[in-house]
Chain A
């Protein structure tokens, strides 16, 4: 039971982390994962409810994440805006939009149960998430596209000089990366928690950022990291159920664990060299 819960709790973090690995490997930071996750959770339930199908809800959440990712990518790559500021803006916008949306659509304050017809099988989503992580590892480390993505993040000048379109690579890596965070959000609301609240992501977007560092930008290691964070998430509910400690104490666990894990692994982590630096044609 604890094992299943650990795996289920790991999935949203894994999806967002794998997406962020893709974006950061191409050279773009997106700290707006939290907001993208929230928006994904909201859009998933909204569209799933209206369309009467959870799968359509998931697809819609993914598509909205892709669009917002294109926006972040365009700001980071073409306009050369501040990537951290744009990420914070995404988080603020997501928090506002979802809290507003839940009230405007369903006329309830901050909490909406996902209707049964919009639910998606949690195990199917779990398998899909692992497949995404594996595929991302394969693409990044075993294909020409992966080489182009990594080159754009390590040394964009050199990549550009051998004919790689750094701009396009970064734009699409960012967009696909963001879409995975929203996908993770839809998993939260349509499969795992079957509810959407105005703070349903509860820091998972930032835990995913920690996972990226923990994994040293490797999607397979991100699975291990997500499972560690998922374990503490699941454990916190278990301790609560068994009345070991007050629920406030157990709720702190995932965050304390994240801090400790990140503090422990730093030093061996090596970010892409051109991370966060806009590329400019000479």
Chain B
């Protein structure tokens, strides 16, 4: 309850500061917020688009939450999502049938987990700070996936994107004319699953114990290395799925843009969602849905109020700043 109130407070502060910024830069704040928060509800196409936007954010938010629970600051979801998307593209290259879909998940998740394992192993065995290593892995993934997308897997018909998923392997819209696919339900189901994993399973117990007190956990027979590896491994899985869905469940293109437009920034949106949701998987689900709404709204804001899309990112930064201020009694004790 306290968490929800804090999130609402942070939203209020962000809206107030944002109104000033919008006004100074010559935009009408009322029109900005009307198009951001009201317009998305006026059409079923917009609502479903907001849900589709929220889909990957739920999954990358869970990645961050899985790290946080173990006391780790895993900001590598961004790069792991790129790798997941690359996996889906590779699968489309290898298989021209419906088989490409399961293959996407296999390759995409494997690549994302591999990407998560590098910082995990460096942390577990060399003590390398995960904040630095995950960001470095993000940048390496960024250039690697751009290179692969624009060479081996480029689409000769459309140079700005990769080859497409085979039609029979695509997750298509549930309602014609919208962009919402079954991928949304995969993400929604992942949240309670991770919740169960963290709160009820042995792995979750070990992560939580290590997150609360690593020394005590080690004495109790829970080595830090195992905790780091499990937490990053599971995080890699959810981010990998996010990346796969951004290709396999992304009408109308069903491909990866060579400038990574359909995966760029999703990992950081997940961090925002995880903080708004206080690291609780169910809270993250709600927060991601809200962020999906904001970003869908930002598209209308761009069209109606002529305000740059990134305005919404600035609002989110301010919200998290307020959240940081309000975290007096840490939910992540160190």
- Which A residues have a C-beta under 8 Å from some C-beta of B? 31, 35, 71, 75, 79-86, 88-97, 99-101, 103-105, 198, 202-203, 206-207, 209-210, 213, 246, 248-249, 251-252, 255-256, 258-259, 262-263, 266-267, 276-277
Task: Take A99-B310, A255-B140, A276-B334 as given contacts and tell me if A75 and B132 are in contact as well, using a CB distance cutoff of 8 Å.
Answer: no
Set of chain A residues within 8 Å of B328, measured between Cβ atoms: 79-81
The 4 A-B pairs with the shortest beta carbon distances in the complex, nearest first, are A93-B317, A96-B313, A96-B314, A248-B147
Task: Take A96-B312, A100-B311 as given contacts and tell me if A88 and B320 are in contact as well, using a CB distance cutoff of 8 Å.
Answer: yes
A88 B122 Cβ-Cβ under 8 A: no
- Which residue on A lies nearest to B326, using beta carbons? A81
Interface string of B97-126 (1 = CB under 8 A from A): 000000000000000000000100010001
A96 to B295, CA, bound (A): 13
B132 A206 Cβ-Cβ under 8 A: yes
Q: List 16 contacting pairs A-B, 8 Å CB cutoff, sorted by A.
A: A79-B328, A80-B328, A86-B325, A88-B275, A92-B272, A92-B313, A92-B320, A100-B21, A100-B311, A101-B25, A104-B25, A206-B132, A248-B147, A249-B143, A259-B118, A266-B128
A252 B324 Cβ-Cβ under 8 A: no
A203 B313 Cβ-Cβ under 8 A: no
- Which residue on A lies nearest to B317, using beta carbons? A93
Determine which of B75, B312, B314 lies in contact with A93 in the assembled complex, contact meaning CB atoms within 8 Å. B314
Task: Take A82-B332, A203-B136, A255-B140 as given contacts and tell me if A103 and B310 are in contact as well, using a CB distance cutoff of 8 Å.
Answer: yes
A249 to B139, CA, bound (A): 11
A209 B143 Cβ-Cβ under 8 A: no
Set of chain A residues within 8 Å of B320, measured between Cβ atoms: 85, 88-89, 92-93
A79 B325 Cβ-Cβ under 8 A: yes
**B231 part of interface (Cβ distance < 8 Å):** no
A255 to B144, CA, bound (A): 12
Task: Take A89-B320, A206-B132, A267-B127 as given contacts and tell me if A103 and B325 are in contact as well, using a CB distance cutoff of 8 Å.
Answer: no
A206 B131 Cβ-Cβ under 8 A: yes
Interface size on B, residues (CB 8 A): 52
**B212 part of interface (Cβ distance < 8 Å):** no
What is the distance, in angstroms, from B116's C-beta to the closest C-beta of chain A?
14
Set of chain B residues within 8 Å of A256, measured between Cβ atoms: 136, 140
Known A103-B310, A203-B135; further 10 A-B contacts with Cβ < 8 A = A71-B321, A75-B321, A82-B332, A92-B313, A93-B317, A93-B321, A96-B310, A252-B143, A259-B137, A262-B129
A95 to B320, CA, bound (A): 13
A206 B135 Cβ-Cβ under 8 A: yes
**B323 part of interface (Cβ distance < 8 Å):** yes
**B261 part of interface (Cβ distance < 8 Å):** no
A75 B325 Cβ-Cβ under 8 A: yes
A267 to B128, CA, bound (A): 9
Set of chain B residues within 8 Å of A249, measured between Cβ atoms: 143, 147
A92 B73 Cβ-Cβ under 8 A: no
| CB interface residues, B 48-93, toward A, < 8 Å | 73, 75
Q: Is the interface of A mostly helix, strand, loop or mixed?
A: helix
B131 A209 Cβ-Cβ under 8 A: yes
Set of chain A residues within 8 Å of B307, measured between Cβ atoms: 104
Set of chain B residues within 8 Å of A31, measured between Cβ atoms: 131
A101 to B323, CA, bound (A): 24
B325 A81 Cβ-Cβ under 8 A: yes
**B146 part of interface (Cβ distance < 8 Å):** yes
A96 to B140, CA, bound (A): 22
- Which residue on A lies nearest to B311, using beta carbons? A100
B327 A82 Cβ-Cβ under 8 A: yes
A89 B131 Cβ-Cβ under 8 A: no
**B225 part of interface (Cβ distance < 8 Å):** no
A83 to B330, CA, bound (A): 11
Set of chain A residues within 8 Å of B144, measured between Cβ atoms: 248, 252
Task: Take A94-B317, A96-B314, A206-B132 as given contacts and tell me if A85 and B140 are in contact as well, using a CB distance cutoff of 8 Å.
Answer: no
**B167 part of interface (Cβ distance < 8 Å):** no
B308 A99 Cβ-Cβ under 8 A: yes
Set of chain B residues within 8 Å of A263, measured between Cβ atoms: 122, 126, 128
A258 B313 Cβ-Cβ under 8 A: no
A92 to B271, CA, bound (A): 10
Set of chain A residues within 8 Å of B323, measured between Cβ atoms: 85, 89
A79 to B151, CA, bound (A): 51
What is the distance, in angstroms, from A24's C-beta to the closest C-beta of chain B?
12
B126 A266 Cβ-Cβ under 8 A: yes
A210 B321 Cβ-Cβ under 8 A: no
A213 B313 Cβ-Cβ under 8 A: no
Which of A209, A251, A276 has the most B CB atoms < 10 Å from its CB?
A: A251
